[in-house]
Amino acid sequence: MSQEYVFGWHAVDAVLKREPERLQRVWIQTGRQDKRVKSVTDALDGLGVPWKVVHRKELDERVSGVHQGVVAAVAESREWTEDDLLAQLAASDKPPFLLVLDGVTDPHNLGACMRTADAAGVQAVIVPKDKSASLTPVARKVACGAAETVPFVRVTNLARFLRELKDQGVWLIGTAGEADATLYQADFKGPVALVMGAEGKGMRRLTREHCDQLINIPMLGHVDSLNVSVATGVCLYEALRQRLG
């Protein structure tokens, strides 16, 4: 069975609560005896999942990143397909609320975007298969469990999939520094997908051409751009504000 690692207490706890069948083995750093550890180990015992107390060095050797004293080996998560997402949107009675990340290659930024997407009620995060970060252990850890709750869809041809979303009545709002309209002039209340580009380069040309509207985030200081995960948070929460009425 294929295997991957999840680390950090939020990420491991999210798998434990939502996809316990994926858990294969857990390692916990020696010296931890708090309530959180007991809660997790009791749950693991109840599921029959083996766990072991080890020195920090062993955890450091298993993963690269701040593991917070816990690492889990898990079965690979099922990756959503384009058809999976389209079927979910067709079956839902809620207007689609999606996030498209075009060219975000830093797993820390991806994880942060996933975390905010979960908090804002986004139904799926969509990325191209090429020139994009994947859900690495680092991305999952930064996502604090959101990688286990928000469908992550990697599409072979992003421009083609954006056309499919438009055919489904989804309005595509892209961010671009040179746009004439601001974030606060956009209408996010209906079926909508927010499209964010990579830092520096922004969206690719074909992605930009498929957007129904381009907006910018007002910048009143001396810097001319925001980190992509911060910009995503700003946009998603303006969208959420509108969608909450």
CATH of the domain at 10: 3.30.1330.30
Same domain? For 26 and 107 the reply is no
Is 197 annotated in a binding site? The answer is yes
In this predicted model, which residue has the larger pLDDT, 10 or 119? 119
- pLDDT for 158 beyond 60: yes
User: Among the three residues 57, 75, 93, which one is the final residue of a domain in this structure?
Assistant: 75
pTM above 0.75, yes or no: yes
* Residue 218 main-chain phi, psi, to 5 deg: -55, 130
Same domain? For 128 and 220 the reply is yes
Is 16 annotated in a binding site? The answer is no
- State pLDDT tens for residues 66-97: 899 999 999 887 778 999 999 999 998 999 99
Name the pLDDT band for 198 (thresholds 50, 70, 90).
confident
Is 226 annotated in a binding site? The answer is yes
Count up the domains in the chain and report the number. 2
Same domain? For 65 and 86 the reply is no
